[in-house]
Amino acid sequence: MLLIKCIFCGERDETEFHYGGELRDKRPLNPNDLSDKEWAEFLYSKRNVNGIHIEQWFHSGGCRQWFNIERNTFTNEITNTFNLKKQKITREKD
């Protein structure tokens, strides 16, 4: 079970959160110029990282805020938490 540190509420059980997937590239600003292949890539292709992964989580059972964390998908170690507004990195370890 993951122990996730919400940047607003502190450490909570994974079951309080909703996983929002990988932090994706920005939505293309010129959709009309994209080919079907490029759209499909934006919509569906995944980096599916084995290792350090930046992902979005929603504290659905708490403060109901979104934030990003950096997690190693192999060891499940969470190494960073990001505040979406400030985009400031708060290191867990120091």
Partner 1 sequence: MNNKLNTKNSYSIFSIIKGGFNKNSILDISISNKTPKKQYDVIVIGGGGHGMATAYYLAKNHGITNIAVVEKGLIGRGNTGRNTQVVRSNYLWTESSLLYEHSLKLWNNLSQDINFNVMYTKRGVFSLAHSYQEARDVARRVTANKLNGIDSIYLTPKEIKDYIPIINISPKVRYPIFGASLQKRGGTVHHDAVAWGLARRLNQIGVDILQNCEVKNLIIKNNIVNGIETNKGDIFASKIAVAVAGSSTRFAEMGKFKLPIESHPLQAWVSEPIKPILNPVIMSNAVHAYVSQAEKGELVIGAGIDKYIGYSQRGSFSVIENATSAIIELFPSFSKVKLLRTWAGLVDVSPDACPIIDLTPVKNLYINCGWGTGGFKATPGSGYVFAHTVANNEPHVLNEPFSFTRFESGKLIDEHGAAGVAH
- Tell me how far, at minimum, the Cβ of 66 lies from partner 1, in Å: 15
Taking only Cα atoms into account, the Rg of the chain, rounded to an integer number of angstroms, comes to: 15
Contact status: 79 vs partner 1 (CB under 8 A): no
Does 22 sit near partner 1 (CB under 8 A)?
A: yes
- Interface residue with Zn ion, options 2, 9, 23, 49 (CB under 5 A): 9
Enter the DSSP assignment of 92: S
CA torsion 73-86-9-74 (nearest 10°) is 0
Cα(53)–Cα(82) distance, integer angstroms: 13
Q: What letter does residue 49 receive in the DSSP assignment? A: -
List contacts with Zn ion (CB under 5 A).
Answer: 6, 8-9, 59, 62-63
List contacts with partner 1 (CB under 8 A).
Answer: 1-2, 13-15, 18-19, 22, 36-37, 39-41, 43-50, 53, 55, 71, 73-76
